[in-house]
Chains A and B, each alone.
Chain A
Amino acid sequence: DTGVSQNPRHKITKRGQNVTFRCDPISEHNRLYWYRQTLGQGPEFLTYFQNEAQLEKSRLLSDRFSAERPKGSFSTLEIQRTEQGDSAMYLCASSPRLYTGELFFGEGSRLTVL
């Protein structure tokens, strides 16, 4: 399967711990997006990469959050000193080099902070 892959699918952690999520986009998709979705709500934009460059960041992305895409392929989203309010589904999406507008989403990584 060559879709967008996210790992881990589910992470349970204690408050104050750091967590990292990984997203592997579809091969040769140069655009990669991170979104966060809390229960009963639509997703919210977090950040966007074109190749390795982080072009947009939401104000939701506090200084505890950092995202990287070091070689323009996979991306990581790290949350430091997790808080219970960070509990959410973290979604990754990618889109092709020639931007058609269509987004291809991964299955998401669900974070539970106890």
Chain B
Amino acid sequence: KNEVEQSPQNLTAQEGEFITINCSYSVGISALHWLQQHPGGGIVSLFMLSSGKKKHGRLIATINIQEKHSSLHITASHPRDSAVYICALNYGGSQGNLIFGKGTKLSVKP
């Protein structure tokens, strides 16, 4: 069993829709990251969470430590949001050894 599971694996949405991507994990963590990866490979860090909720523009990330679950929400989605969204965990006090999910591929149609 993977320590981190993302759902859905693939998601197609119409422009303007509200999108939710989920991340569930089974290990104790010190922090959880949401990353965005565009075609070609470049990765951008969106959020790092250890509790509660963070918001940046149209993106909102939440985490429930007790339930070992995090969600990434995108409001008013746009075709430029099309990318792979990856959940990654910091665990065991390790600062570099992230455990990555396989990612959720999001495609937003105009």
Interchain CB contact under 8 A, A56 and B41: no
Residue among A58, A89, A100, A101 with max Cβ neighbours from chain B (10 Å): A101
CB-defined contacts of A56 to chain B, threshold 8 Å: 94, 96-97
Interface residues on B, range: 20 to 34
A110 and B96 contacting across the interface, CB-CB below 8 Å = no
Interface pick from A12-20, A21-29, A43-51, A75-83: A43-51
CB-CB contacts below 8 Å: B77-106 with A: 86, 88, 90, 94-103
Q: Is the CB of B86 within 8 A of A105?
A: no
Chain A interfacial residues counted at CB < 8 A = 29
Pair A31/B48 contact, Cβ less than 8 Å = no
Are A42 and B97 CB-contacts (below 8 A) given A91-B41, A101-B90, A110-B41?
no
Which residues of A lie under 8 Å from residue B99 when comparing CB positions? 45
Contact of B44 among A55, A105, A108 (CB under 8 A): A105
Q: B-contacting residues of A (Cβ < 8 Å)?
A: 31, 33, 35, 37, 40-45, 47-48, 55-56, 58, 89, 91, 93, 99-108, 110
